[in-house]
Structure 1
Amino acid sequence: MRHCRRKRLFDLAIAIPALVLTLPVQAVVAVLVARKLGRPILFRQVRPGLGGEPFELIKFRTMLPPDPRSGRLDDAARMTAFGATLRSTSLDELPTLFNVIRGDMSLVGPRPLLMQYLDRYTPEQARRHEVRPGMTGLAQVSGRNAIGWDEKLALDVTYVDHQSLGTDVRILVATARQVVRREGITADGQVTTTEFMGSASALVSAP
């Protein structure tokens, strides 16, 4: 409990100044998103948070809307060069600072994935929801989307078991280094990452 309070204060001490300092950058990005991708400017999606409870994640949009008439349905067809740049520089993540300040998320923790993944986790993998999801995490600085799902989820649980403010600082520093180098942005052959369909162990044990 004491660690949770310290972690929350740590998050606010960084997220509030970061939000204020990046507001001019966010204003420029918002204008560019409106011009190049249209409206809405923000991407909003319900994701599972602490204990699997849903919250609304906010980011800048990086993709064009689906358009069946033009065949623009999958991520590869919807992604633009501008959107790819936003993702590779993590500028699309700046509005997520609001989620941290509101208490939906932490600066560091397992990334918030999709609601439909909840019933695909093994009991061990589901432990990733024992802490608030993060803007970055151990899996992100250990390969991000370039590593497989089982490894990513195992790293999430490792973070849950070994979390500390010192670990958070190291992950934030490693994240900054990774953003500068633009490493691990996508999975092989994907513009983002593959869908998590459940691990082999979960599928074998399923009735």
Structure 2
Amino acid sequence: MAPVRPYDFIKRFLDIVASAVALVVLSPVLVIVVILVRTRLGKPVLFVQARPGLNGRIFLLRKFRSMLDIDESRGLVSDADRLTGFGRALRATSLDELPSLWNVLRGDMSVVGPRPLLVEYLPKYTPLQARRHEVRPGITGLAQASGRNALGWEDKFALDVEYVDNRSLSLDARVILATIKSMAVREGISAEGQATMSKFEGSDA
């Protein structure tokens, strides 16, 4: 089990309030995005996938769908093929993340924390990298605020562990402000040569 700090209780309270208020205030936006996703990309509207959370516990992450289905007959195989201009816009503005507010309200996630990655990565982490699961995963995090997908895996994991060791209200506020800035200028949406981010294959160390 991960060690608990006093701030973690405050953080959970703030997460509940922030996610509940955001879901109500942004409900018109949610409805509009649902209609657009259904029209542009079809069903299902939501992308639901198992991800590891606090202490590696598996939960179902919810996001708006941003890719077309795999269809070899149409040449839709890779992420680059399946990611449309509309899907890119959803990701660039982080509108695809809005359903994750429900995960925050449930306690699966936090507003700020290391991003929840694939379950298949769990056995590939070094002991140090695995410390990213000592806190709830976030809709945004220190790595996202510092370059999003433009960063390499090693740099991302280092920033995740840095966040775990230094989490505080002031750091969360800085991460949120930096995330808003990166969204506004659309920095780091994709890794170089990738539609999103290359798969993590493990570290050499």
Identify the TM-score tier after normalising by the shorter chain: over 0.9
Separation in structure 2 between the aligned mates of residue 95 and residue 38 of structure 1, nearest angstrom: 17
Q: Which 4+ runs in 1 deviate beyond 6 A?
A: none
Correspondence for 1:88 among 86, 92, 95: 92
Q: Which amino acid aligns with 1:163?
A: R
Unaligned runs of 5+ in 2: none
Match of 1:97 among 82, 97, 101: 101
Q: For residue 68 of structure 2, give the secondary structure of its aligned residue in structure 1.
A: coil
- Counterparts of residues 50-129 of structure 1 (less than 5 Å): 50-129=54-133
TM-score by length of 2: 0.96
**Aligned counterpart in structure 1 of residue 37 of structure 2, from 30, 33, 37:** 33
Percent of residue pairs bearing the same amino acid type: 56
CA distance in 1 between counterparts of 2:35 and 2:29 reads 10
Q: SS of 2:43's equivalent? A: coil
Asked if residue 143 in structure 1 is aligned to residue 162 in structure 2, the reply is no
Letter of the 1:13 partner, please give it.
V
Aligned residue pairs, count: 201
User: CA shift at 1:161, angstroms?
Assistant: 0.5
CA distance in 1 between counterparts of 2:72 and 2:17 reads 45
- Between the aligned partners of 1:165 and 1:13, the Cα distance in structure 2 is 15
Which residue of 2 is the match for residue 205 of structure 1?
none
CA distance in 1, matches of 2:7, 2:168: 8
Q: Which structure 2 residues correspond to residues 147-186 of structure 1 after superposition, within 5 A?
A: 147-186=151-190
Aligned-CA RMSD value: 0.8
Q: Which runs of 5+ in 1 are unaligned?
A: 202-207
Residues 92-126 of structure 1: CA deviation (Å, up to 9, x unaligned): 01111000000000000000000000000000000
Match status 1:16 vs 2:20: yes
